[in-house]
Structure 1
Amino acid sequence: MRSLHFDYIIVGGGTSGLVIAHRLASETTASVLVIEAGRDAKSAPDVLVPGKYIYQLEHDKEGLWELPTEPQTQLEGRSITFLRGKQLGGSSAVNYMAMARGPADDYDEWARKTGDDRWKWQNVLPRMKAMEDFSPEPPKGYHSLADANSDNHGTGGPIKLGFGNEMTPGVTKFVEACQEVGMHICPDINSGNPVGVGLAQFNVKDGVRYYAVNAYLDEEFRARHENLRVQANTVVRRLLLQGEKVVGVVIRECGSDKDNQVFCSKDVILCAGTIASPQLLLSSGIGPKTAIDELDLQLVRNAPGVGNGMLDHSILTLEFRVKDSSVDFSRLFSDKDLLQDAERKYRKNKSGPLSVFGTSGSVAFPKIERLQQSAEFRELDQQTQAFLMHPERPSAEIWLSSGYAAYSGAVKPRQSFITFELLLQNNLSCGTVTMRNTRGAPALEINPKILDHPYDRRIAIETVRAALNISKARAYNAEIEEMVHGPRDDDDGSILDFVRKNLGQGYHGVGTCRMGPEGDQMSVVDTDFNVIGVEGVKIADLSVCPILTCNHTQINAYLIGEQCADVLIQEWQAGNVPRSGGL
């Protein structure tokens, strides 16, 4: 490493981290170091191929963190695996490419909880528009399902967004079935009111994934900005402190057994995510006193909120064998000839199945009345009830996906499958991320406590029931041959048994370093992203989210990066005197 001194050190080259790096490097003269534990982007070209996203999650082990949880009491003692991107771009490199902002009311609630109006929908919408380059034209034949108002969208931003050039098979029947069970068409799921069924919007353009790297920090940008340094394959082990001041980090390059120190004159910005950011604080003596004592570390700051309050969505699938003869995603990857042909087409001009799967599709955001009529709902406090009943807040998210996911039975030649992917939203169960001494060494412990809250179990039951109703609509009478993965019946007991055996995490964990007012003892960062009570360190990732939003949280990560960059640039321009800090 050329220098061991920088103005800013960004820990984690994921979504938020690269936004901050881009803006600091391009809008200030500050020296910026990005430290990423995983690989650099240029070693993983398949990340850009939309149709390979599921294959990557199953086979690209080098690019993933696979983090097991504690056994989950409500899931029959199963431990589930948290997947996170282990590469430059973080989870934006491995996620499903759908961009879903969620309801406007979520951002207004974020502003209310933090006392910071910068998070209100009216204030974040211009930022959302500025970051996107939106193509409003849907594929031919689908104009009745998409009519996005230009007032809600922007052009010329770094993130390409649109409906895809060709639609995934099966969308028309799915939309018809959703309408039959009472859903209306939502012409723009990103308008601030996603309730209904419509076409999803994807951060893809002409068959290429747009994510944090090629949108914000590609090779050309890095070459133009000499004040920016990216250090991949390097783990940050802990913060360097002088009293309650952070002055740098301790790092170790992968494959080495030697630690090095890197210093900063301004701030260390933790962008390591919902799991790793609290882990780094705990490893540095910042967290609940009981946890720090357990680790035999010196307490720097008693911060009870560190690692507590984790919220997440959860995922379940219903899967069906259908009469449709279209090649589904599963058959594409199980048939060598089909895959080779698809790869040839993609190499030639970014066309074919690998540019269709992952770039287009339909999603439903239903309001489920049975939830609000349940005994579990009536047990909630009035404020939570009012939050959940907002007319623009969906009860769940139901995706139409091609192929099967959990089904492991026999598949005959030319058979096709569809999957309803259920993203359970509005979950109230709170989990933890902490560190324990195990055999004399610190060990990470993740316990999301899935379904611990009774209302979450009701959410699961009624979401499955709503999806079953869609599958029984007339539109599918001549299409679905058999449900190959689902509950044995539609009563509460059968559905809950199916849920306990199959539910997984939703890839949207938030809240382990919650943002809030300084008087709240569970707040870890203030509204300017400073870790409360510790100088020289900020956190800017999904761990700071004070609520579980009804969206795909990649948009939160981009917004957090932009908001934090604003703060950092303002501080830099104000001419804050750099700390000496023993540098």
Structure 2
Amino acid sequence: MTSATYDFIVVGGGPSGSALAAGLAHSAKRPKVLLLEAGGTNEDRNLRVDGQRWLTFQNKAMNWGYKTTPQAHCNNRELDYSRGKGLGGSSAINFGVYSVGARDDYDEWARIVGDDAFRWDKIQPRFKSLETFHGDLPPGIDSKYAAPKPENHGTSGPLHVGYAGEWEDDVCPMLDLFEEAGFPLNPDHNSGNPIGMSVLINSSNRGLRSTANDLLTPAPDNLTIITSSPVQRVILEGNRAVGVESNGQMYRAEKEVILSAGALDSPRLLMHSGIGPRNQLEQYGLPVVKDVAAVGQGLRDHMFCSLVYTRKKGDTARASFYGVPEKMDEALEQWKRDGTGPWSKFACEMGVGWFKLDKLVASDEFKALPPEERDYLTRETVPHYELVTHFPVHWFIPDFPQDSLDYSCLAILLYNAQSRGEATLQSADPNEPLRFDPKFLSTSFDRRAAVESLRDALRFAEYEGYARNNVAMLAGPQGDSDEELLAYWRQNISSSWHMTGTVKMGKPSEVDAVVDSNFKVMGIENLRVADMGVVPVLASCHTQAVAYVTGMTCAEKLIAEYGLA
């Protein structure tokens, strides 16, 4: 087995790993950094068409294609558990929502782990340094729909985020209807307080998606990036990490190995390195270097379902685009020329809102939660569910009727689920994925939250100003009873692909903690984990932003510890 030596080895080229590797490589002392990515380069510009971001996950070369186990509380359905493969990770296949969550999320993170580095006032400057924010609105759009304050956004980061250059005609009228129906407008969901109805900030600009790969381009000469190199295990000498093995090649780290393979794959790498639950390791004949029962436990996720209505002719313009293949082909040629046209318009801008549920807080299920959780869920900026308009659901419903492309879709995302799932070994082969069981809807609180969030979304769907243009319901519950609303969730639930918490960060005394607040795997020297697996809160957002800031925070801590500034 041949070997090469670096100062730091980062495993995984998604948002966390890219932010971490770039942060280390650009530090003043310029350490030698190796970034190993299991997938390819994802360098084809045509993979970044803004309006096709809803389809990229179907590209099998860019998706690990994971599934959940049959979900006991969701009619035993196996659910899609997509994870991005290749540089950019899941940011290359996600739906391009760029939301940073609630300031209270980060203050709660800091409280849980006992480290002020995760407080909002420390995290927000990292978000600002990450982004170049494009806040211009299209001509004729009133600032009442979006009025971001400059102090909440960055101007010189590698990730380009902002509003689409052109909006579908019914976006603003839809926002007006939300306001009329009692859902207040929020001028900027990335201010630290997402509560209210906003215009979506996208991880794209001028028709082009921005992914974690942008943090690595151009790569400095002290950063080596090797693709198509899945890592099988961390190489340990006693309780000290000294490198990694990838397809028979050994790479040595003089200083640290950092796993950023994501909440579903970092636990796998730890287990196949002998760090994990003893009973699982012994079952598959793996050596037990350190018995850590919490590895792979604590899996959390957001989940969603959708309401779909066909609309009166002329209410939307979607059928005139999505229903005419020749127009879509022409539009793609236009996009290739200059990034404009329908592929930078349709499903590129949408309404997005985060809301609280008084009925949920008043419920017996809420009152039965631990005091710390009740306190967190009642803080000013923490929402209980999310609503998204203009979701292009016709790509997700099998055999969607082509004569129904004039439709409106409302996606409802369930937040702060209390269920704790797990990722467990199912093979001694380090290239085989773990078994993923998020245990969706397995707690009474989650079932109550699902019912109340869907009921609140229906409050808008049944509002006269919206409902009068509905022709028929294509997808929705049979009635409005608790039982009917819950039945609809069970049959239509999907993961939001926001997997979190399987290598949880916490205080050294806590049995469910795997890493400390410096991202160090407790009991193992020179090994850290920095990805969504360590995050101890299920943040109130689409979690790519949290993944980026997790990698950035780890880089900051390493730079300080090793004097790299």
Task: Give 1:34's aligned residue.
Answer: 35
Tell me the amino acid that sits aligned with residue 487 of structure 1: P
Relative to 1, partners in 2 of residues 1:424 and 1:532: Cα closer, same or farther, differing over 3 Å?
A: same
Q: Is the 8 A contact 1:513 1:525 kept in 2?
A: yes
* Alignment match of 1:433 (pick from 423, 434, 447): 423
Provide the secondary structure at the position in 2 that maps to 1:469.
helix
| Conserved? CA contact 1:53–1:358, under 8 Å | no
- 1:549 CA drift (Å): 0.9
SS at match of 2:314: coil
1:520 matched to 2:521? The reply is: no
- List aligned pairs for 1:61-460, cutoff 5 A: 61-139=60-138, 140-214=140-214, 216-218=215-217, 221-222=218-219, 225-252=220-247, 259-325=248-314, 332-333=321-322, 335-405=324-394, 406-408=396-398, 411-413=401-403, 415-437=405-427, 444-460=434-450
* Preserved contact between residue 300 and residue 417 of structure 2 (Cα < 8 Å): yes
What SS does the corresponding residue of 1:16 show, helix, strand or coil? helix
In the TM superposition, residue 326 of structure 1 has moved relative to its aligned partner by: 6.8
| Structure 2 CA distance for partners of 1:78 and 1:331, relative to 1, 3 Å | farther
Counterpart of 2:520 in 1: which secondary structure? coil
Deviation at 1:331, TM superposition (A): 6.7
Relative to structure 1, the CA distance from residue 329 to residue 559 in structure 2 (aligned partners, 3 Å threshold; closer, same or farther) is farther
1:534-553 counterparts in 2 under 5 A?
A: 534-553=524-543
The reply on whether 1:568 has 2:558 as its aligned counterpart is: yes
TM-superposed CA distance for 1:357, in Å, is 3.4
- Unaligned 5+ runs, structure 2: none
Aligned to 2:55: 55
The answer to whether the 8 Å contact 1:203/1:209 transfers is yes
Helix, strand or coil at the partner of 1:500 = helix
Find 1:480's aligned residue among 470, 473, 476. Answer: 470
SS for the counterpart of 2:304 is: strand
- How many residue pairs match? The answer is 562
Q: What is the DSSP-based 3-state SS (H/G/I as helix, E as strand, rest coil) of the residue aligned with 2:137?
A: coil
State the Cα distance separating 1:85 from its structure 2 match: 0.6
Work out the CA distance in 2 between the residues paired with 1:512 and 1:494.
33
Change (3 A) 1:180 1:516: same
Shift of 1:180: 3.1
Distance 1:407 1:466 in 2: 23
1:255 is matched with: none
* Contact 2:505-2:519 at 8 Å conserved across structures: yes
Matched-pair contact (CA < 8 Å) for 2:347–2:390: no
Residue 8 of structure 2 is matched in structure 1 by 8
Cα distance, 1:260 vs structure 2: 2.1
Give the alignment's TM-score, normalised by structure 2: 0.95
Deviation at 1:442, TM superposition (A): 6.7
Of residues 312-321 and 176-185 in structure 1, the stretch that sits farther from structure 2 once superposed is 176-185
- Indicate conservation of the 8 Å contact 1:319/1:407, yes or no: no
Deviates more, 1:327-336 or 1:515-524: 327-336
Aligned amino acid, residue 247 of structure 1: V
Q: Deviations over 1:285-321 (max 9, x none)?
A: 1012222222212211111211011111001111111
Q: Post-superposition shift, 1:506? A: 1.5
Greater CA drift, 395-404 or 489-498: 395-404
Deviation at 1:541, TM superposition (A): 0.4
In structure 1, what residue type is equivalent to 2:224?
R
| C-alpha contact (below 8 Å) 1:146/1:187 kept by paired residues | yes
Secondary structure class of the residue paired with 1:419 = strand
Superposed CA offset, 1:123-152 (max 9, x none): 111111122212222223231111112221
Normalising by the residue count of structure 1, what TM-score does the alignment of the two structures yield? 0.92
Distance (Å, rounded) in 1 between the aligned partners of 2:400 and 2:386: 29
Contact preservation (8 Å) 1:294, 1:436: no
C-alpha displacement at 1:107, in angstroms?
0.6
Identity, % of aligned pairs? 32
- Three-state SS of the structure 1 residue aligned to 2:232 is strand
Conserved in 2, the CA contact under 8 Å of 1:88 and 1:213? yes
User: Distance between the aligned counterparts of 2:564 and 2:205, measured in 1?
Assistant: 39
Kindly state the Cα deviation for residue 48 of structure 1 after the two structures are TM-superposed.
Answer: 1.9
Residues 152-182 of structure 1: per-residue CA shift (max 9 Å, x gap): 1221122222212111342223223322332
- Is residue 173–residue 476 contact of structure 1 (8 Å, CA) maintained in 2? no
Q: Distance in 2 between matches of 1:572 and 1:33?
A: 17
Q: Is the 8 A contact 1:251 1:261 kept in 2?
A: yes
CA distance in 2, matches of 1:564, 1:441: 26
In structure 2, distance between residues paired with 1:537 and 1:491: 51
Say which is worse superposed, 11-20 or 142-151, in terms of deviation.
142-151
Out of 378-387 and 532-541, give the one that drifted further: 378-387
* Aligned residues of 2:2 and 2:249 also touching (Cα < 8 A): no
C-alpha separation in 2, matches of 1:326 and 1:271: 45
1:325–1:415 contact (8 Å) kept in structure 2? no
Give the letter aligned to residue 9 of structure 2: I
Q: Is the 8 A contact 1:330 1:403 kept in 2?
A: no
SS in structure 2 of the partner of residue 9 of structure 1? strand
Decide whether aligned partners of structure 1 residues 416 and 358 sit closer, same or farther in structure 2, where only a CA change above 3 A counts: closer
Cα distance, 1:232 vs. partner? 0.8
**Change in 2 beyond 3 A, CA 1:328/1:89:** farther
Structure 1 residues 56 and 197, CA, compared in 2 at 3 Å: closer, same or farther? same
Letter in structure 2 aligned against 1:233: S
